[in-house]
Amino acid sequence: MVYRKQYKTASQHHVYRSKLQSLFSTSSTQFSNSYVFFIIPFLYYCLQYGYQCWPELVPFAPLQNSSLGYSRLPSFLAFARKTRQCGLIKQYIQVRHAQGIHNVDGDKNYKAYMSPEYFDAHITPLGWQQVDNLRKHVHECGLAKRIDLVITSPLLRTLQTAVGVFGGDGYTDRMDVVPLMVANAGNSGRAAISSLNCPPIVAVELCREHLGVHPCDKRRNISDYQFLFPAVDFSLIESDEDTWWKADVRETKEEVAARGQKFLNWLWTRKEKEIAIVTHSGFLFHTLSALGNDCHPLVKKEICKHFANCELRSMVIVDRSMIGFDPSTTNYPGKIPSGLDLPSDVVDEKAN
């Protein structure tokens, strides 16, 4: 992951370098069991080589409760929380969209994903219940107050999920405020959603679902979305029409992963520290699979599990949800209420 960090003073550099070296002098080969994510090159190269660096995002080794490295984790976490203020730590909240109409029939018959009637599929009534339950969770655990920015794929089901989970309360018509979502957007039967008291929501093309062939993954014109979601920021999308989706060409898994890496690189240019990303199962699976290539196989298996509908997972430079002694209070299992949610990428595998 490309990122440039400049230290204000040489003394600041030496303080960070010595702190990190004292915390992680143990060989990573000793680590096993409860794993934790570190962007080690990001931290290490910044400290080792001074004022500028071009590190890569990689998952670090697992940690064992009895290892020396594990005993240093509490000190490192305290250090990491402080360095967030210096731009060294970011947290990503990853959310898969709620159940869409294509998920229901696609779970029964993979050929349903080829049906034109599922063009830019919207959320089902059960999907909206999943949105309501996730919204309740992010407010009860305090996550809603910490998120600085929400990034969403520009498809109807992700836009509905993003505004439903992270948007404001019910919209009251007034001249100085536009709604995040108008009433009954996408045949939802839902009331309008306010843009007050919520983080900004920005649509980004890079985090779209696996492109091509499946009509459910083709978006409509941005001008149509702007009418349905007036307060969502679509300014980063260059074309009104969908020029990325091809009816006869399906993106390869490698191309999805490369697009995911490009998206993560772009995220590091953002000033915000805690960012929620509302996206798709296939995009998350292939992006995280590429990041987990140098993990232990058990670790990779864990991080590459397909997301359930409306599942939320946190990924940070130090993933506190996986360190064994401080379980996450923000992760959410999704699929509540339970419903069919077969991802289109699984469909591709069954078809082959």
Identify the three-state secondary structure at position 323.
coil
C-alpha distances out from residue 348 to 219, 298, 302, Å: 20, 24, 22
Q: To 5 degrees, how large is the angle CA 323–CA 98–CA 229? A: 115
Query: To which residue do tokens 């009534």 refer?
Result: 125
CA atoms within 13 A of residue 304's CA, in its CB half-sphere: 18
Q: How far is residue 236's CA from residue 206's CA, in Å, rounded to a whole number? A: 10
Can 97 be counted among the known catalytic residues?
A: yes
Q: Burial, 352: exposed, middle or buried (Cβ in 10 Å; 0-12, 13-18, 19+)? A: exposed
Partners of residue 279 on adjacent β-strands: 96
Inter-residue contact 291 to 37 (CB < 8 Å) = no
Name the active-site residue from 13, 97, 137, 210: 97
CB atoms within 10 A of CB 170: 10
Name the active-site residue from 102, 122, 209, 311: 209
Identify the three-state secondary structure at position 37.
coil
Q: Burial, 334: exposed, middle or buried (Cβ in 10 Å; 0-12, 13-18, 19+)? A: buried
Residues with Cβ within 8 Å of 334's Cβ and at least 6 positions away in sequence, in order, are 96, 130, 134, 307, 308, 309, 310, 311, 312
E runs forming strands in 183-254: 201-203
Inter-residue contact 38 to 60 (CB < 8 Å) = yes
Amino acid at 96: R
Query: To which residue do tokens 């959310």 refer?
Result: 95
Q: How far is residue 125's CA from residue 122's CA, in Å, rounded to a whole number? A: 10
Can 209 be counted among the known catalytic residues?
A: yes
Give the active site residues.
97, 209
